[in-house]
């Protein structure tokens, strides 16, 4: 019995020691990351691949761990807002459609980051990354009386109605594929700042609640949420001089051939708990960032 207890004690001690060593290695390779900048999207109400027009604020917090030299696993939790309005469009079709939307984006991502250079050797490095994320969105608008309307429940294109079996209700929790690039500069051995572009390819065309063609007016008001569903599906009648007639069923409302994107761009901040010592003696390494010592 004593031998068994002694063996169990040795195994437990070994496991604790291994866990402590593993935790120590993880902490040594860990860095905190933050981001502050802008969020925007590409879709039926914002067709530009990349623009600051109508962009909103975005923030991220997270961290990364070094897997091998210059390769990191990064996890980020990001909050941002996207919105767009047809009234700002130069396209007459979109202005006459007169739709708008806003949505909060809650994004949790895991990406692999590859830095071209080693910051312990140089003061800067470009980097690229790619991975996967889970995000939540919920498009909304304000009706003509100023009341907020959560668009998914109004089935503005007949989603989920038996007359349109191919138009499923879209889910507000989805996957996306984040990827992008950036550049960072070392402030000192522990701190680096930079600029990053992060694009998210989604698998939905409903970030903005617009995708395909107009549903039949009568089907929409009887199967959706009454007259309000039709009012939110077409808002050209709210414009001075705009058409007062709801478009015929099957008339183009969006472009179902493309999916929507959202993206972030802004300043990054990296804080490394235990920075590497430079192995280079060349001028320009991080050693040159240290404060000079007095010599007596």
CATH of the domain at 103: 2.40.160.20
Q: 146 CB contacts (<8 Å, ≥6 apart)?
A: none
Checking if the pLDDT of 271 tops 60, the result is yes
- 10 φ, ψ to 5°? -65, -45
User: Domain range holding 224?
Assistant: 30-285
The pair of three-digit structure tokens given for residue 72, joined into one six-digit string: 């990191």
Can you name the residues that pair with 115 across neighbouring β-strands?
127
Cα 69 to Cα 95, 185, 252, 261: the distances in Å are 52, 18, 52, 32
Give the mean model confidence (pLDDT) for residues 121-126: 93
Give the mean model confidence (pLDDT) for residues 135-155: 97
Give the mean model confidence (pLDDT) for residues 244-271: 96
Give the mean model confidence (pLDDT) for residues 240-258: 91
pLDDT of residue 295: 40
Give the span between the Cα atoms of 87 and 103, in whole angstroms.
18
Can you name the residues that pair with 197 across neighbouring β-strands?
181, 265
Can you name the residues that pair with 59 across neighbouring β-strands?
36, 79
Give the span between the Cα atoms of 194 and 87, in whole angstroms.
35
Checking if the pLDDT of 6 tops 70, the result is no
4 within a domain of the structure (yes/no): no
Q: List b or e across 178-191, with b for residues whose CB sees 16 or more CB atoms inside 10 angstroms.
A: bbbbbbbebeebee
141 within a domain of the structure (yes/no): yes
Checking if the pLDDT of 12 tops 50, the result is no
pLDDT of residue 1: 56
Checking if the pLDDT of 114 tops 90, the result is yes
5 within a domain of the structure (yes/no): no
DSSP-based three-state secondary structure for 85: strand
Q: Please state the pTM of the whole predicted model.
A: 0.84
Domain count, the chain: 1
38 within a domain of the structure (yes/no): yes
Q: Residue 223 — very low, low, confident or very high, per pLDDT cuts 50/70/90? A: confident
185 within a domain of the structure (yes/no): yes
Give the mean model confidence (pLDDT) for residues 106-114: 98
Mean pLDDT of the chain: 88
Q: Residue 139 — very low, low, confident or very high, per pLDDT cuts 50/70/90? A: very high
């Amino acid at each position: 019995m004593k031998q068994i207890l002694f063996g169990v004690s040795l195994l437990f001690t070994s496991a604790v020691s291994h866990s402590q060593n593993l935790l120590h290695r993880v902490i040594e390779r860990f860095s905190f990351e933050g981001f502050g900048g802008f969020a925007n999207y590409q879709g039926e109400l914002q067709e530009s691949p990349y623009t600051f027009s109508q962009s909103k604020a975005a923030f991220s917090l997270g961290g990364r761990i070094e897997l091998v030299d210059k390769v990191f696993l990064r996890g980020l939790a990001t909050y941002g807002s996207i919105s767009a309005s047809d009234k700002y469009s130069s396209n007459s079709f979109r202005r006459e459609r007169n739709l708008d939307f806003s949505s909060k984006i809650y994004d949790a991502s895991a990406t692999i980051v590859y830095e071209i250079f080693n910051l312990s050797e140089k003061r800067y490095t470009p980097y690229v990354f790619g991975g996967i994320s889970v995000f939540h969105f919920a498009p909304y608008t304000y009706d003509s009386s100023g009341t907020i309307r959560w668009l998914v429940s109004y089935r503005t294109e007949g989603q989920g109605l038996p007359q349109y079996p191919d138009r499923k209700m879209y889910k507000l929790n989805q996957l996306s594929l984040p990827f992008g690039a950036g550049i960072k500069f070392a402030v000192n051995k522990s701190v680096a700042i930079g600029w990053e572009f992060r694009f998210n390819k989604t698998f939905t065309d409903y970030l903005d609640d617009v995708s395909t063609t107009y549903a039949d007016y009568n089907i929409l008001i009887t199967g959706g949420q009454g007259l309000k569903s039709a009012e939110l599906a077409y808002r050209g009648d709210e414009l001075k001089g705009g058409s007062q007639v709801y478009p015929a069923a099957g008339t183009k409302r969006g472009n179902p051939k493309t999916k929507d994107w959202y993206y972030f761009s802004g300043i990054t901040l990296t804080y490394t708990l235990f920075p590497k010592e430079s192995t280079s003696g060349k001028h320009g390494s991080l050693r040159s960032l240290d404060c000079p010592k007095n010599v007596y």
